[in-house]
Structures are given as C-alpha cells and as structure tokens.
Amino acid sequence: MIQAKIAETLNSNQFLQEFEIKGWVRAFRSNRFIALNDGSTINNLQCVVDFENFEEEILKRVTVGAAIRVLGTLKESQGSQQRVEIEVTELEILGDANPEEVKLTILSPKRHSLEKLREQAHLRVRTNTFGAVMRVRSRLSFAVHSYFQQNNFHYVNTPIITGSDAEGAGEIFKVTALDLKNPPKKENGEIDYKKDFFGKETNLTVSGQLEGEAYAMGLGQIYTFGPTFRAENSNTSRHLAEFWMIEPEMAFCDLDRNMDLAEDFIKYVVYDVLKHCKDDLEFLEQRLENEEKLKPKAERTEMSLLKKLNFVLENNFKRVSYTEAIEILKNCKPNKKKKFDYIIEEWGADLQSEHERYLVEKHFKSPVILFDYPANIKAFYMRLNEDGKTVRAMDILFPGIGEIVGGSQREERLEVLQSKMAELNIDEKELWWYLDTRKFGTCVHSGFGLGFERLVQFVTGMGNIRDVIPFPRTPQNAEF
C-alpha cells in the first residue's frame, strides 16, 4: 500500500497499485464520483465509488467538507478531465461535515466574494483561490531563504519588542505590562514607565533594520525575515497593521551594489515560483482575467499575470534619478491634463502610486529603480549626498503595484548622522548603541526592505493585501 499526497498521486505512473489517500471532500456526484483535495495541489483527485459495495449510511456521510480516507487502486481515468483516478475499495469517514451547516459557510460550492471569505478566514484556505495563494506564499518564503543562504548571508532574528522607532513615524503599537486602569504615575502626572516590565517605554517593532545594521557590522551580510507592526490607521487595499518584512543589510556595500542585489533577488524568487507553482499561477491568472472583465476598460491591466511576472524576469530594471523622474512626470500628458489625483508641480514632491505606475507601465515599460531622493522626504539614516539636499535612497517600482522595495546606502559618518538626528529631535541616548556602530570601524554599508505581502500580492495578482496573509490584522479587526 502506498500512502501519498494527492499532488504525488496525480503525477504517479504506479498503475494497479494500492493507494491510501486522506483529504477533504470537494464534491460527490451521482453517488459515485468523489472530488478529493488534501491541500497539496489545486487539483482534485477523482475517487470512483461503486455504491453497491458500500453501506448507504457511509455514503450519506460523504458530504462537502467532510474529511475522509480512501483506499483503492490507481487507474488511468476514462474521463477527459483527469489523467488518473482511484477505484475505491475502502472508505472511512474521519470527520463529518453537516450539510446544513456547510451551507452557511464558504465551504458551500456557490461562488463567494473576497469580503465574505475574509469573514471566515479560518476556512478560506480550503477554497481554490486561497489554497493557491497560500501555496505560492509558502514557496516564495522558501525562495527568500534559499537566495540569501546561497549568497552567504546570515539569517538574524531581530527583536519584536523594542525601545526604538526605526522609521521615526510614531505609528507604533505600545507594549506594557502595567495595569491600564491604574498605572503608576510620576509627580507631574505622566505614566512612570520605569516601573513597567522593561523599565522604559517599549513598542512592537516597525523594522529590524537598525539592529540588522549592527549585525552586518560583524557578520558582513545578514538578512531578517520576520513580522513587523505599524499602527497606521489606513483602511486601504495596500496596508496591514501586521506584516512580514525581508531586510538584508550588507557591510562594504554602496548603493549601486545594493540595487544590483535587490534586482537579482527579486528575479530569483519570481523565477523560482514560476518554476514550482505552475498550476496555482495558471489558476490565479484565470481568476484575475475574470475579475478584470468586470472592471471599466480604462481600469484594466494591460498584462496577464504570467506576462507580468515574465516582464520582471525579462527586463533589466531601468535606473532613473528622482530628479529625472520628476521632469518626466511634470511634462507628461496625465499631469498636464490634470488626470493625476496628485499633480506634480515641483521638485521635492513625494511620489504617489499613480506616478510610480506611470513611469513603469507607460513611460519606461520596464521595472524602474528610482534613486537619489530629496533628503527631507526620507529617513534620518540615509546617506547624505554631496549636494546636501538628496540622499542615497532607492525604491524599486513594479507594474500594477508601484513601490515594492525601499532601500538606501546608510549614513556611515558619525557627525553627519548626529546632525541629522538633532534636526529631527531624535534622542541620541535612545540610539547610543546605533551610534556606536559608527565609532568602532565604520564603513560604507547598505540595505533594503521588502514587504513580503506586497511581493505575494504582485506574484498572485490579488488586488487586496488582506488576501495574501492567513489572518489579516487591520484597523478594528483582530479576529481569529
């Protein structure tokens, strides 16, 4: 007897061998054909039952959503829909699913909206769409680690609870063990955090970058891949309160090499998922095509999902300075005719998704890396250029999504870093350890951050970032 996953069974040539398969019933037709799925593939395995050989009571329990075990012979299928099927000799119900209750859930065969699926996030992975998305997510995660390990990066786990706000944006979730109804107070009435668990104010991390820089200064090149948190009250299709970040940091690395690495990394993971998730991506491409047909023609994307992925693989990323990009945008038709929601009038504007997509999809027709941004719209740790007004920052822009990577050459000069921190009222005492890395063997170093869910969103074609993470955390929503 061969115990196998459905993905293996569908590709097997071990005909007339006995197979044991366990999975969940997707459909049961004519009291004869069971469509079985175990999550290993988007494709169901057809299990053929001779109902005369089984008790009626058992067959009644073969309902949509039920978990079953079948034992039977692998045969070439007579039908055109599948290559192989199992001729069932034994059938065992492992877990019942009441048909009346199934009707009230997203397990019922009718079509459900993505909003409805989010309400039952604990069940949605058993639908075709979310099974495909989560298998792709899993493969992308594996490819991330593979790339960095093959390129001699060390995996570092940076703190989830921290005393610093790396971005300086203040959109943080505070962490405390104090009694919120009766916290200890100072004489001036402020909360006395010295009496808290850590003896100071702490929060959930918004980025592992600063700690990553410290470790790159000893290990040479590192990467983090873990959860990060932003208390940004944004109810949009692009924002989550809890998401995963990939953040490499490299010592002895300037911005040019940083851009090289980011491009190479993205192409590697996209190639890997195209190679290993063919069935899931073809299904997701078809899903996206059907979704696009419902949109007004002007809002439809020009490229299919697989074309978009190959577009990234086949094109060198165009490198353009922020200054050049602003000139292109100022003089383009959508800006002159006021078709943009945010009109570009002068140098220094913070680019929006519509501008980024125009550069990628209309002007250059390739992925774009923008670099040398105005210092006053970027973070304090980015290296100041000789002109005194721009920093060695870079963003990678993709079709359909805009910015997918943000990075920079870090400011390695202690005096310049201290000056920038003073301008932004960042307390040196809080980041004394970060400043130490500039005192003891400082060097040119760089890194970037990539929001993993943005990458999954791009690769799967899903329109809402809440649909590419198992249990989304968003404003007013911490269900499950």
| DSSP for 419-456, written as a single string | HHHHHTT--TTTTHHHHHTTTSS---EEEEEEEHHHHH
First to last CA, the chain: 39
Question: 246 φ, ψ to 5°?
Answer: -110, 120
- Contact predicate 351/343, CB 8 Å: no
State the amino acid at position 45 in one-letter form. L
- The dihedral region occupied by 226, where left means phi > 0, alpha psi between -120 and 50, and beta the remainder, is beta
Q: Which CATH number fits domain 2-105: 3.40.1110.10, 2.40.50.140, 3.40.50.170, 1.10.3720.10?
A: 2.40.50.140
What band does 399 get if pLDDT is binned at 50, 70 and 90? confident
C-beta separation of 248 from 259 below 8 A: no
* pLDDT score at 301: 78
For residue range 327-339, list pLDDT tens digits in order: 999 999 999 999 9
List the structure tokens of 232: 């940004």
* Residue 403 in tokens: 């910015």
User: Cβ contacts of residue 199 below 8 Å, gap of 6+?
Assistant: 193
- If residue 443 lies in a helix (H) or strand (E), which one and from where to where? none
Region 161-165: mean pLDDT is: 85
Of 179-183, 291-295, 308-312, the one with minimum mean pLDDT is: 291-295
R_g of the chain, CA atoms, integer Å: 27
- The answer to whether 247 and 261 have CB atoms below 8 angstroms apart is no
Once rounded to an integer, what is the mean pLDDT over residues 400-429?
Answer: 94
The answer to whether residue 167 scores a pLDDT higher than 80 is no
- Cβ atoms 305, 281 nearer than 8 A: yes
pLDDT at 166 over 80: no
Phi, psi of 338 (to 5 degrees): 55, 40
Element (H, E) at 384: none
Binning pLDDT at 50, 70 and 90, where does residue 170 land? Answer: low
Q: Which helix (H) or strand (E) holds 409?
A: strand 402-409
Query: Alpha carbon of 365 to those of 120, 282, 303, 312, 405: distances in Å?
Result: 39, 24, 11, 10, 18
HSE (CB half, 13 Å, CA atoms) of 478? Answer: 3
pLDDT at 308 over 70: yes
Its pTM surpasses 0.85: yes
Please check the confidence at residue 23 and state whether its pLDDT lies above 70.
Answer: yes
- Which position has the higher pLDDT, 142 or 52? 142
Residue 470: how many CA atoms within 13 Å on its side-chain side?
Answer: 10
How do the domains of the chain map onto residue ranges?
A: 2-105, 128-171+206-467
Angle between helices 278-293 and 452-460 (to 10 degrees): 80
Which of the four pLDDT bands, split at 50, 70 and 90, describes residue 441?
Answer: very high
Residues 194 and 379: their CA atoms lie apart, in Å, by: 29
**pLDDT confidence of residue 327:** 96
**121-126: average pLDDT:** 96
Give, in degrees to the nearest 5, the angle at Cα 38 between 34 and 43. 70
Tell me whether domains 2-105 and 128-171+206-467 share a fold. no
- Average of per-residue pLDDT values in the chain: 94
At 402 the pLDDT is 87
C-alpha separations of 14 from 20, 130, 381, 442 in Å: 13, 30, 60, 61
Helix (H, G, I), strand (E, B) or coil at 94: strand
- Whole-number pLDDT of residue 237: 83
Would you state the pLDDT for residue 35?
A: 97
**Distance, CA of 288 to CA of 295 (rounded, Å):** 11
Q: How many residues does the chain have?
A: 480
Q: What is the CATH number of domain 128-171+206-467?
A: 3.30.930.10
Check if the beta carbon of residue 475 is closer than 8 Å to that of residue 233: yes
Q: Are 23 and 40 in contact (CB under 8 A)?
A: no
